[in-house]
Structure 1
Amino acid sequence: MLRRALPRRPEARRLLVGTLLSAIGRGLTLPFLFIYLTDVRGLTDTRAGLAIGWYGAVTLVLSPLGGTLIDRFGARRVVLPCLLIEAVGTGSLALVDSSASAFAVMTVIAVGSSAIWSGQNTILASLTDDGERQRVFGLNFALLNLGIGIGGMTSGAIVDTDRPVTFLAVYLLDAVSYLMPALILLTLPGVGHRLGAGRVAGQPSPGGYLTVLRDRPFRRLVIFGLILTTCGYAQIEVGFAAYAVRVVEVSPRVVAWALAANTVTIVLAQLLVLRRIEGRSRTAALALVGTVFAAAWLVLGAGGLISTESAVLAALCVVACSAIFGFGETMLSPMMPALTNALATDELRGRYNAMSSMIFGISGVIGPVTAGPLLAAADGRVWVATVVGGCLVASLVALSLRRLLTPAQDGRVTAEPTSPEPTPATA
């Protein structure tokens, strides 16, 4: 089953290794940024939330530029410098000592990450065909989460809010991890160059973001993604961690184990889920994701209600929430990028992927900024009700998308395997 999920081209396989290595560093820091800024560096909850939200705002502003640069000059020339900037930024988190420095460092990180996701997805799409693309994106996500889980388990055993030096160590290791995919990409000189035959580097590609926005099915997909990520992924670093530690009253170590459960679920279930969803409706799967995410938040809310009666059961609710969330991710991870690239053309593929990544930028602004006030209301119950309701609304939007797609775009017709066109050797 694993062999079938692997991409045929060796270049794509090596890029997947880079995903795993960089994800380990990401996992070292992912669950603890909000706790680090507040409990270690002394920022208020509001300022820490605003700093994290600022990262989302800067990413959002710069993502369209990243997509344009990818289409004009190739993903390689954009991703490599962004990985280096990201390494500098994440390492600099160890030096944060005030609100001003937190905002400055988050700005640097945002500059680096603004085009990494869209650039890497564009490269993977160029190295795979329609028949294998959904499987490869799913495998890429499984490796991403495997790395995050390994990093999370490691940091859970290391970090201690009473020992700031432990946080400094994990942020420096995270910085080093971003150099790994950059080194791998440097060993693949023929990968990541400009797509679209017969065009000269530096000239604008046909159309632009207005062309992308006129794509009605893609607009509906973006709306779905905005709602789901705002009430899902954007809550992991702030809402989930803060609710678990402050309302359910578990230790940061339990949060780390919860993320490990998320990883185990994804790693064990991803290949099986990929096999089950192949040839089935992508919009139906996306609707199911919203329902699964809602169920995960309900379980976490139950943990807050029983925390005073049974600390063990409350901790199990935190872990179960993360595991259920992970199951939903195994369906979302292959579907979103595969559907995005099914709608995209080569000339505008960078912009389509940039718009898709902007979903996380927008939700990254809304989620952290709103999580604090929502968590403060009624012992976090308002927050739980909001994220559960939002996930269910996203499911309805996904179902409405189906009638706008062809059977092939919706994944109900499996594309015949074809070899992707060779990547140009020069930009």
Structure 2
Amino acid sequence: MKFRRILVHAQLAGSIGDGVFLVTSAFYFARIVGLSATEIGLGLTVGWAVGSVAGVPLGHLADRRGPRGVAVMLALATAAAVAAFLVVRSFPLFVLATSLYGTAQTGLSAARQALLAALVEPAERTVVRAALQATLNGGLAVGAALGGIALHLDTPAAYLTLFALDALTFLLTAGLLLALPAVPPGPVSPGPRLAVLRDRPYALVTLINAVMLFYMPLLSLVVPLWIATRTSAPSWMVSVLLLVNTGSVLLFQVRVARRIKGLRDASAAVRLAGLVMFAACAVFALSPYGWMFLLVGVVLQVAAEMLLASGSWEISFTLAPDDRQGQYQGFFGTGVAVARMLGPVVLTTLVIGGGPLGWLVTGAVFVAAGAAMAPAVRWALLRTSPEPA
């Protein structure tokens, strides 16, 4: 349908900007803004922390005011935050800009999920979400390639141009979202305004998913550090591993998602994701004995990533009340912010500090979290419908 293509195009535009930001932001903030590494890390952590808190109320706003209008507003706010980075030259203003950026990005994600839930039939939501995720990875790859050009040129003009392009991609995102059908706000249900904050079963499901999302810093931080300090593999292996990950999601994420037909399948997918992630960690632990272990490890890691994504999308949509998808998706999305904030510290401590044993401990945590999802989903169903998990 037409609006699905619009959703995909909007996802592509924003993800290109995100790819640019991910690749160039550290260099930009250090060389153009003039911040120290500590200031950059602290500012980004504060920004995502503020964003994680803002996700639920902004999701609630999408429920009450209509998700399309709120998504457009937050896309514009993201563009404004990126544009602010072009002129910010002090740490306090940097923290304010990153707080706006984290808030807008987290809220935009929640509003988009609510918009998807309103425009797509329940049976198709996970598949459409998978298509958006595949598009996201493609856009990140394009943005990363553009960022690589700026890194190669390494001039103020190159960095400023790319950040300006980042802001423009979110202006384009806002325009595309505006072309979607308007979704009227749902009726006000009885009960507390932010009901998700009192929904303990859904909170447990969200916590389990957040633990599973600790895989996120693996390829961007932990594996590169592991390669540099514990193996003899060349540094360009990092690019190869990222390419395998991105290409796999592009090719197979939708196929994996099509296998998820309900909460039982979704819970099983998350459980299997934990087991496969343990296998990936065990193989990565063997990588000092040969670079082929790195390739096998990343194949297992991306398989687990796709299983987790497909299962968690089905769970988050199905367990959320239809009239409160915005605030529920905003709450569920806080797992990403938590993984971004705590994952690097926890995983570098375990893996880089603990060596092969640290890899196995990390894998065991994924197994435990994956196994806990089905009982948590069953508990959540006790306050909704009797569908088995």
TM-score, normalization: structure 1?
Answer: 0.76
* Aligned twin of 2:139: 147
Q: CA 1:212–1:165 in structure 2 vs 1: closer, same or farther (change >3 Å)?
A: same
The CA deviation string for residues 18-68 of structure 1, in whole angstroms up to 9 with x for no partner, is 112221222233255456656887755544433332122111221122122
Greater shift after overlay, 161-170 or 338-347? 161-170
Give 2:182's match in structure 1, choosing from 181, 191, 199.
191
Amino acid in structure 2 at the alignment position of 1:282: A
Give me the whole-angstrom Cα distance separating, in 1, the residues matched to 2:20 and 2:111: 23
Give me the whole-angstrom Cα distance separating, in 2, the residues matched to 1:357 and 1:376: 28
Tell me the C-alpha RMSD between the 2 structures.
3.6
Please give the residue correspondences for 1:175-324 in structure 2 after superposition, counting only pairs within 5 Å: 175-188=167-180, 190-196=181-187, 205-208=189-192, 211-229=195-213, 231-235=214-218, 237-240=220-223, 242-244=225-227, 254-278=237-261, 281-303=265-287, 305-306=288-289, 313=291, 321-324=297-300
Greater shift after overlay, 16-25 or 274-283? 274-283
The answer to whether 1:338 aligns with 2:314 is yes
The CA deviation string for residues 338-371 of structure 1, in whole angstroms up to 9 with x for no partner, is 2222112232221111111122223333224555
* Aligned twin of 1:419: none
The answer to whether 1:404 aligns with 2:379 is yes
Shift of 1:182: 0.7
Please give the residue correspondences for 1:108-127 in structure 2 after superposition, counting only pairs within 5 Å: 108-127=100-119
TM-score, normalization: structure 2?
Answer: 0.83
Contact 2:24–2:147 at 8 Å: present in 1 too? Answer: no
The answer to whether 1:356 aligns with 2:308 is no
Q: CA 1:94–1:19 in structure 2 vs 1: closer, same or farther (change >3 Å)?
A: same
Taking every aligned residue pair, what percent have the same amino acid on both sides?
A: 24
**Alignment gaps of 5+ in structure 1:** 1-8, 200-204, 414-427
Please give the residue correspondences for 1:89-100 in structure 2 after superposition, counting only pairs within 5 Å: 89-93=81-85, 99-100=91-92
Q: CA 1:32–1:77 in structure 2 vs 1: closer, same or farther (change >3 Å)?
A: same
Give me the whole-angstrom Cα distance separating, in 2, the residues matched to 1:241 and 1:99: 28
Q: CA 1:77–1:411 in structure 2 vs 1: closer, same or farther (change >3 Å)?
A: same
Give me the whole-angstrom Cα distance separating, in 1, the residues matched to 2:217 and 2:373: 19
Give me the whole-angstrom Cα distance separating, in 2, the residues matched to 1:177 and 1:157: 17
Shift of 1:13: 2.5
User: By percentage of residues, which structure has more helix?
Assistant: 2
Q: CA 1:50–1:387 in structure 2 vs 1: closer, same or farther (change >3 Å)?
A: farther
Q: CA 1:237–1:44 in structure 2 vs 1: closer, same or farther (change >3 Å)?
A: farther
**Alignment gaps of 5+ in structure 2:** none
Give me the whole-angstrom Cα distance separating, in 1, the residues matched to 2:295 and 2:84: 31
How many residues end up aligned between the 2 structures? 387
Give me the whole-angstrom Cα distance separating, in 1, the residues matched to 2:379 and 2:322: 21
Contact 2:378–2:388 at 8 Å: present in 1 too? Answer: no
Amino acid in structure 2 at the alignment position of 1:218: Y
Q: CA 1:398–1:73 in structure 2 vs 1: closer, same or farther (change >3 Å)?
A: same
Contact 1:60–1:361 at 8 Å: present in 2 too? Answer: yes
The CA deviation string for residues 263-301 of structure 1, in whole angstroms up to 9 with x for no partner, is 110122123223333356211101122233343344444
Q: CA 1:319–1:206 in structure 2 vs 1: closer, same or farther (change >3 Å)?
A: farther
